[in-house]
Amino acid sequence: MAVATQVSGSIGTSVATAAAREATASAPVAAAWMSPVLVAAGVYNIAWGGLAILAPDWCFRAVGMEPANYPELWQCIGMIVGVYGVGYIIAAFDPLRHWPITLVGLLGKILGPIGFAQALATGRLPLAFGWNILTNDLIWWLPFAAILLAARRAAAGRQG
């Protein structure tokens, strides 16, 4: 009886090990550049958000604007940007699995420039304020979109 249990246990372990290897081998792997890009986005967002919280006037003064009447609102934006950064770092651990974080980030990075364009057109913000849009949003469009496309392809490969 003990021999049968050992053999059964060995076979079960071997089958489970083989199944785990097969699942790992067939699991899509993110491109090597994806995690460092998400970490960089995370660190950037945390730094930018922290600066907006600790020195809410810096961004306005840097482009020759009067500081905001309500710095607390700018500090709140800094908090949101910093929290996105934490999300990007989490997504960096498995970019294809954590694609919803990247999607939410890309949506914000698309909507931010739309809001800036409206403020620019109405004269509420100067063109110089666009440096924020360039570094906070536009430079991340292509890598975030590429991560989302890879995640979509990986999901389609698992289904097909």
Q: What are the domain boundaries of the chain?
A: 1-29, 31-159
Q: Answer yes or no: is pLDDT of 13 > 70.
A: no
**Of 4-8, 16-20, 26-30, 86-90, which one has max mean pLDDT?**
86-90
Strands (E), the chain: none
Q: How high is the pLDDT of residue 16?
A: 53
Q: What is the mean pLDDT of the chain?
A: 88
Query: How do residues 66-108 score in pLDDT, each as one tens digit?
Result: 998 999 999 999 999 999 999 999 999 999 999 999 999 999 9
Whether 155 has a pLDDT exceeding 50, the answer reads: yes
C-alpha–C-alpha distance, residues 55 and 112, integer Å: 21
